[in-house]
Amino acid sequence: IYYSHTGSIMRSFQLSSQADPNKLFLTKFSELEGRLDPGFCSMELSNKSLIPIKNIAIVRGGKRIPKGYTFSSNHTGYKYLRVKDFDSHNAENLKNVSKELFHLLKRYEVTNGGLIISIAGTIGKTKILNHHINNKVILTENAAQLLLKSNKLSYHFLNVVLQTDLLQQQIKLSSIKTTIPKLGID
């Protein structure tokens, strides 16, 4: 398509008078990364001030509780954070897991004060994790933790940016459209 987003002709080709220039855009192929489906490409891709999250943070996924294990009915000090728990402001409300299960899943432990984002089901929901110092928390497979590469950016600022309409739209457009929407860790 050889019309710009303002409707001006970029080359000598012309579209039918029935074509709506407000629904057409021009982008360079070199600006496209990965996906080429219409929903993903309908966003304005020419804004050079946007950078991929991988440039500023390491994205680390969570883990499902393995078969044969379950939540503990006793208070253990070891917690499991599910996406439905993102709205809870008290770590005591999270499900307990045994010390044995915690140590099995320790590499999926989330950092107190860190930022987590939901990547399955309700995608794009974020939370700054604030749990009691005595609790150790394992993250569900339906979420990921963002670990900043530099201290020049704060988790609180990144959380606000991720909640903007522009970023929420990018998150939704980047998701895999299945029965349960999923956002790839990449």
**Model pLDDT for residues 119-166, shown as the tens digit of each residue:** 988 889 999 887 665 678 889 999 999 999 998 889 999 999 999 888
Q: Per-residue pLDDT tens for 52-92?
A: 888 899 999 999 999 999 999 998 889 999 998 888 777 77
* Mean of the per-residue pLDDT values of the chain: 78
User: What is the reported pLDDT for 12?
Assistant: 45
User: What is the reported pLDDT for 142?
Assistant: 92
pLDDT at 27 over 60: no
Cβ partners under 8 Å of residue 7, min gap 6: 21, 22, 24
Q: pTM to 2 decimals?
A: 0.69
User: What is the reported pLDDT for 184?
Assistant: 79
User: What is the reported pLDDT for 183?
Assistant: 82
